[in-house]
């Protein structure tokens, strides 16, 4: 069934959600930061959280990016099985990225991996990174999650020995420890357990889209241990090293135990739009 979803609408929607994601943090993240600021007793940590909250307010009021690292642009697209489009969706999203880079503006971050030449418009080989999922119905949901490099660079993956389930928590803690203040804590940790080498990484990244208010007991337990490290906001000490932990699992080979930890800084930016088919 074809619908009222046009190329022009997708290009404009891409710019809109990018603008929203880059300038306004989701409420669950702001609420978690506010709670942490109240809870912290360490004056340096409190000053960091105050600066972060003030920064979020300025970005929102002035409609400017929260962070100068406007990230590499990752899109999650849910396409209804009954939807048919008469234009190239990937091309439309990419065009939206080019225009948003100029109009919001976004920092041009995309470079060739070897020559390091900057493309100037946040597009390039494999960028924007668009991940597709087929869902029921005839709708289309586009989510953008800009990912900064400071936190991405501290992420880690391991192929554990399958008898070492107990090492999972150790690996998560060690990853946070090694990262220290570099990924801009307080962090949100996406953890992928199981699947394959790439599946674990992909689960750890999509886990970052979950609401900070929804954690199960296992996730809370890890969060508690992480915060006991005392790394604190920006690695300057304090009780808020992370705001949330989200774990996603997948069945894996009996001989494998992949684990991936995708580290996200406090600026857990994402925004979505849904089109309904008519």
Task: Kindly determine how many residues on this chain lie close enough to bind other proteins according to the rule CB under 8 A.
Answer: 54
Tell which one of 84, 105, 126, 129 touches other proteins (CB under 8 A): 105
Give, in order, the Cα–Cα distances in Å from 35 to each of 31, 62, 177, 204, 242: 6, 24, 23, 25, 12
Cα dihedral across residues 69, 145, 50, 58: positive or negative: positive
Q: Which residue has the tokens 């020559």?
A: 115
Sequence-ordered strand ranges (E) for the chain? 72-80, 129-135, 140-147, 156-160, 187-194, 242-250, 257-264, 271-275
Q: Decide if residue 159 touches other proteins (CB under 8 A).
A: no
Contacts with other proteins, 30-59, as mask; x by CB under 8 A: --------------x--xx--xx-xx--xx
Q: How far is the CB of 82 from other proteins (least distance, A)?
A: 41
Q: Decide if residue 26 touches other proteins (CB under 8 A).
A: no
Contacts with other proteins, 244-273, as mask; x by CB under 8 A: ---------------------xxx------
Q: Decide if residue 109 touches other proteins (CB under 8 A).
A: yes
Query: Which residue's CB is nearer to other proteins, number 51 or number 134?
Result: 51
Closest CA to 145 of 206, 220, 190, 201: 206
Tell which one of 21, 231, 242, 243 touches other proteins (CB under 8 A): 231
Q: Decide if residue 18 touches other proteins (CB under 8 A).
A: no
DSSP string, 15-46: HHHHHHHHH---HHHHHHHHHHHHH---HHHH
Q: Decide if residue 126 touches other proteins (CB under 8 A).
A: no
24's CB contacts (< 8 A; 6+ apart) are 59, 60, 66, 271
Give, in order, the Cα–Cα distances in Å from 40 to each of 182, 240, 241, 263: 20, 7, 11, 22
Q: Decide if residue 85 touches other proteins (CB under 8 A).
A: no
Q: Decide if residue 146 touches other proteins (CB under 8 A).
A: no
Query: Which residue's CB is nearer to other proteins, number 54 or number 84?
Result: 54
Tell which one of 26, 139, 150, 277 touches other proteins (CB under 8 A): 150
For the sheet with 187-194, list strands across it: 156-160, 257-264, 187-194, 242-250
Binding span for other proteins by CB under 8 A among 81-89, 92-100, 110-118, 246-254: 110-118
Query: Which residue's CB is nearer to other proteins, number 59 or number 140?
Result: 59
Residue 5: phi and psi, rounded to 5, are: -85, 110
Q: How far is the CB of 69 from other proteins (least distance, A)?
A: 7
Q: Decide if residue 184 touches other proteins (CB under 8 A).
A: yes
Q: Report CA dihedral (8, 12, 14, 15) to the nearest 10 degrees.
A: 150
Query: Which residue's CB is nearer to other proteins, number 126 or number 230?
Result: 230
Binding site for other proteins (CB under 8 A): 44, 47-48, 51-52, 54-55, 58-59, 62, 64-70, 105-109, 111, 116, 118, 148-150, 153, 166, 169-170, 173-174, 177, 180-184, 225, 228-237, 265-267
């Amino acid at each position: 069934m074809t619908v009222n979803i046009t190329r022009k609408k997708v290009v404009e929607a891409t710019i809109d959600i990018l603008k929203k994601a880059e300038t306004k943090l989701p409420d669950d993240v702001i609420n978690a930061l506010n709670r942490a600021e109240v809870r912290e007793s360490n004056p340096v940590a409190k000053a960091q959280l105050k600066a972060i909250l003030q920064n979020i307010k300025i970005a929102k009021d002035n409609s400017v990016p929260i962070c100068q690292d406007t990230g590499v642009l990752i899109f999650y697209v849910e396409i209804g099985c009954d939807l048919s489009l008469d234009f190239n969706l990937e091309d439309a999203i990419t065009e939206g990225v080019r225009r948003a880079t100029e109009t919001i503006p976004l920092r041009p971050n995309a470079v060739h991996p070897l020559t390091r030449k900057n493309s100037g418009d946040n597009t390039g080989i494999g960028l924007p990174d668009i991940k597709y999922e087929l869902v029921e119905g005839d709708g289309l949901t586009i989510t953008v999650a800009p990912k900064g490099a400071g936190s991405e660079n501290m992420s880690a993956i391991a192929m554990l020995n399958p008898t070492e389930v107990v090492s999972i928590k150790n690996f998560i803690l060690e990853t946070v420890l090694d990262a220290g203040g570099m990924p801009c804590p307080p962090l949100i940790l996406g953890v992928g357990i199981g699947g394959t080498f790439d599946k674990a990484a992909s689960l750890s990244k999509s886990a970052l889209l979950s609401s900070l208010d929804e954690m199960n007991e296992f996730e809370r337990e890890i969060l508690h241990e992480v915060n006991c490290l005392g790394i604190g906001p920006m690695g300057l000490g304090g009780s808020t090293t992370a705001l949330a932990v989200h774990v996603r699992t997948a069945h894996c080979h009996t001989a494998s135990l992949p684990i991936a930890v995708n580290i996200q800084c406090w600026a857990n930016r994402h925004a979505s739009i849904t089109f309904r088919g008519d």
